[in-house]
Amino acid sequence: MPTSVRRTRRVRSNACYYCHSRKAVLPNYVALLGIRQLAEHDRQTGLAYFRIDSLYAALESGMPAPEADLAKLETVVNERAMPPKLFRLVHWTTGLRTDDQRALLDWIASQRRAYATRGVAPEFANEPVQPLPDSLPTDTGKVAVGRQLFNDVRLSADNTISCASCHTLSTGGVDGKKVSSGVGGQLGLVDAPTVFNAALNDKQFRDGRAATLQEQAGGPPLNPVEMASRSWSEIIDKLKQDSSLTQQFLTVYRDGWSGANITDAIAQYETTLLTPSRFDAYLRGGQACAE
C-alpha cells in the first residue's frame, strides 16, 4: 500500500472522522460535562458541511472518490482551515502536519486521474475543472434516427409537441419560459433544463430523478402534462406509418420498434450535443483564451 494512502487513512481516522462521519468512535474524554456539549456542536456542524464517508470508502475499496468531495478536501488542506481553533482547545494533538498535508494532496491527485479528460494538458491534469470532451462514443446511425425523433411531434398525443419544443437548440437548448408548457397549453412545474452537455450530467431532470439520458427521454412522452401520450404502443403506431423513418429505424434497431429503442436513439443524439469552448481548448494545451 502506498505511503500516501496509509497516511491519508490515518489522518482521516484520527481527526476528520470525529466531526464529519456518523460512524466515528469518539475518545472517552468527550463524555465529560462541558466537553460533551462542545463535541456534539462540532459534530453537528461538521456533518452539515461535509460528510467524509465517501472519501473513506474510496480508500477502502480503491474506487475513485467523488469529484466534488475531492475539491472540498483539497481546499481545506491548502487553506489549513481544519480543525477549527475551538476544536483544538479540547483536542490538542489534532491538526495537519506538513507530511500529512502532502499525503492528502498526493492522494487527491491520484484520485483525479480517474476524472482527467482525454487530451488534457499535463499541467491541468490534476485540476478540479477539466475540459469538456470534444465527443463521446455514439452510433452514427442511431444518432441520425435520434435527431429525427427529437424533432418529431408524433411523440405527443395531439402531434403538437416534440422534444425540441422545450429544448430549442437555437436558444441554448431551452424554451426561455418560466415554466414549460405541454399538450393543450398545460403548464409544468419547472423550466426545461438545457439539453446541451446533458450527457455529462451525473443525474437528469431538475430533481435528479433519472439516472441516464435514456431514462430521461422516456419521461416526457408519457407525462400527462407534457406530451401526454398514453403508451409507447400509441406512439409507435403513428411512427410505423412513416415508411422512410421505419426503414431507417429498423436498419439500426434490428429488434424493431420499442419504447426502449426510441429513447435510446434520442439519448444517442443528445450525447452529441456538446459545447467545448476556447477555455476547454486552453486546458488541452492551446493558447490562452482571448477576452
SS3 221: helix
Alpha carbon distance 254, 193 (integer Å): 32
CA-based nearest residue to 46, from 12, 74, 67, 22: 22
Rounded to whole angstroms, the Cα distance separating 163 from 217 reads 9
Cis, bond preceding 83 (omega within 30 deg of 0): yes
- In the residue annotation, 226 being an active-site residue is answered as yes
CA distance 225 to 180: 10
Cis peptide before 224 (omega within 30 of 0): no
With 0-12 CB in 10 A as exposed, 13-18 as middle and 19+ as buried, what is 206? exposed
**Which of the residues 74, 226, 270, 291 is marked catalytic?**
226
Three-state SS at 36: helix
CB neighbour list of residue 262: distance below 8 Å, 6 or more residues apart: 149, 155, 217, 232, 235, 236, 239
SS3 168: strand
Q: Is 210 helix (H, G, I), strand (E, B) or coil?
A: strand
Which active-site residues does the annotation give? 226
